[in-house]
Structure 1
């Protein structure tokens, strides 16, 4: 018997991550056979065509020119006021809803999810997301002594499955008084799907109907981590206008992150933005989430908060950042176009891809298919029901031919 001093609820916790595991295997293969021979489609960050990690040049320049005291000093627990105003403005673009809002700085997008779970669900509650989801959602729930359930993301026509969503919302609200639903859109991880405006109407109609029971608390967390690579900046934000004039007991939370849009991945800087028609609700939102920040990480990265505010308040700099980002958006789009076109030619079924860092191929035995792909020095991330391809990280010349090899690997495994 192994000695354990852990608390009862902590016994058996062990951090395993298929994404980092697959990436480590790719790196090991590259060390043995050469980087040029290996396709590493595991990395959730932008790599250029030389497979170097991308930092937007103007972002780097502004960051390196910050005064050292702005880089090393503590920040207010809630976040720098200029950062909070900037994050809110950038999150909404020209589509700010008719509602009260409040923002609290977080340790990246993960911090938004952490605080939402901690402050808007009861211990033992179940949260809801789609059956295709970013794995850490479940880890964050489990660590907070909550559970995660899923609805079926796509219907038979490969559109958002409103019926499954409605069924799960109603089912969970018969068992508990509060429900947090997480929707990652636009440019969903791992599929690259984005909800249409009409699909958003269906989502909000389901939640507004659920909120007619005044004893229920309905919270929708919209994870917008990839929104800056989802298309034209205002066109991909039109759904946010719909967050105005909602019921008082329906709270919307936007999860803003600097990781992808500003290539500040490891700097762990984000913000949670609460949206409500009720002033008391947004005041409470600020109070309880600041408290949880103090109890979790104290305060976050001051330098990165100052970076965002500096960029936003100089329109020439902001324009240049957006221009550079758009170049990488187009690069990712070109890569995904190659894969989608070749997948169609190879009769390789994909989940519907609109935009973003990732696309996904359903598979009966994802782990076995990924193992088979290793024979061709191709590394991807096996999910529960499919395989995630990080088109953000694979140069176009390595994307070419990849779909056909995946189709062959799947045929070999299913034979």
Structure 2
């Protein structure tokens, strides 16, 4: 094993051996190399005459560039977006995102968290999570309704083993915390380590926990850790902030888990992709919260994460990070975000109002939704994929089928004026299939 990796492992193991135990084999082997990058960094500080270390092209004191590219980016100097970004991300953006995490999650006050590492979107963050914390046959506890890419990331890439709990009770009245607890405690009896992902607002159903529900979920995880099982909890907060109802918890459950127990590692996955409506920027963040006040452990985890990025994509887009940082510094930033939030909230509330019509009750049930981009319906007696294709072919209407019974509707891209029309079309399609 590389000596730098060994040094990082000694720091982690010396402070909290349970964290070291939870790392995957790859996670234990990861390190951030002191090769060309560190030599270039030293040269940047000291080489005031000639610096021939940088793997980019320069002319004079500026980066070499093509006018056919730079002409489209008027207000940013090429030196601020064409060179490579650090593998960890632009330092100013990392610090800004961290300070905003404390503002958006007041319960983090007095809790120590790592400096966020920039990822290429949340998908990349989930991939890093899997590489660093999932070994072959490790158990990942997830709801039966989940983002399909988890299977690709955890199982195909890292040979993990997903175990499901029921996301909702049979009547679709609430998130099924009883099933979550039952599965988690059963897996704790059978395994020394459990990985779970808490995804709220939930994709695909658009549900977020209430404050009391979040307290109960966090309590279950902390209790399992205290009883001797190592627990890795990732908070997939892709749609964070899009909470449309008063009783919904407005903070990430990460705030309740960070530092809660020596056997629990809390990992927060964020994406400016949804929070700031910059999907194609592919800019996300991964942040750690662990037991104790050892800055060295958090820094060691950051370095392993940076090494994971360095050995995979090298670094995330410099241009995307630069524009995002400038956006967050804009005096009207919060005003602009509030405008978009209100737009999505109106669509969600319109959908709730329309679905109160009793004419839909014999055709489908509605999963609880109060946040995010999506909502789902459960069909009574027609096949979801058959209905999807029928609506596409005969009504020019596109939806997503999930399994045999579920249809996902993205109200994020649906005009408020089209909501009632959409569900009338769905009802017509169901009637068509019933008639055969």
Identify the TM-score tier after normalising by the shorter chain.
0.7 to 0.9
| Counterpart secondary structure, 2:241 | helix
Maintained 8 Å contact 2:258/2:266: no
String of CA shifts for 1:31-52, please: whole Å, max 9, x gaps.
xxxxxxxxxxxxxxxxxxxxxx
Which residue is equivalent to 2:305?
A: 289
Q: How many residues align?
A: 347
Of 205, 210, 224 in structure 2, the residue corresponding to residue 196 of structure 1 is: 210
Maintained 8 Å contact 2:244/2:345: no
| Counterpart secondary structure, 1:205 | helix
Which residue is equivalent to 2:354?
A: 342
User: Compared with structure 1, are the counterparts of its residues 362 and 174 closer, same or farther at alpha carbon in structure 2 (3 Å cutoff)?
Assistant: same
User: Using the alignment, how far apart are the partners of 2:323 and 2:418 within structure 1?
Assistant: 34
Which residue is equivalent to 1:372?
A: 390
Maintained 8 Å contact 1:121/1:178: no
String of CA shifts for 1:310-330, please: whole Å, max 9, x gaps.
333x3xx25x22222222222
Of 85, 89, 112 in structure 2, the residue corresponding to residue 79 of structure 1 is: 89
Deviation at 1:397, TM superposition (A): 2.6
User: Using the alignment, how far apart are the partners of 1:111 and 1:266 within structure 2?
Assistant: 13
Maintained 8 Å contact 1:98/1:245: no
Check if 1:108 corresponds to 2:108.
Answer: no
- Structure label with greater radius of gyration: 2
String of CA shifts for 1:55-82, please: whole Å, max 9, x gaps.
xxxxxxxx86222222211111111221
Deviation at 1:240, TM superposition (A): 4.7
Deviation at 1:223, TM superposition (A): 1.0
| Counterpart secondary structure, 2:273 | coil
Deviation at 1:256, TM superposition (A): 1.0
**Structure 2, unpaired ranges of 5+:** 1-72
Which residue is equivalent to 1:126?
A: 139
Deviation at 1:337, TM superposition (A): 2.5
| Counterpart secondary structure, 1:127 | strand
Of 146, 152, 162 in structure 1, the residue corresponding to residue 160 of structure 2 is: 146
Which residue is equivalent to 2:220?
A: 206
User: Compared with structure 1, are the counterparts of its residues 131 and 238 closer, same or farther at alpha carbon in structure 2 (3 Å cutoff)?
Assistant: closer
Q: TM-score, normalised by structure 2?
A: 0.74
User: Compared with structure 1, are the counterparts of its residues 274 and 81 closer, same or farther at alpha carbon in structure 2 (3 Å cutoff)?
Assistant: same
Deviation at 1:176, TM superposition (A): 3.0
After superposing the two structures, state which structure 1 stretch, 238-247 or 361-370, moved more: 238-247
**Structure 1, unpaired ranges of 5+:** 1-62
Deviation at 1:239, TM superposition (A): 4.5
Let me know the Cα RMSD of the aligned residues.
Answer: 2.4
After superposing the two structures, state which structure 1 stretch, 265-274 or 91-100, moved more: 91-100
Maintained 8 Å contact 1:226/1:260: yes
Alignment of 1:36-47 (within 5 A): none
Deviation at 1:342, TM superposition (A): 2.1
Deviation at 1:259, TM superposition (A): 0.7
User: Using the alignment, how far apart are the partners of 1:249 and 1:64 within structure 2?
Assistant: 50
User: Using the alignment, how far apart are the partners of 2:371 and 2:101 within structure 1?
Assistant: 18
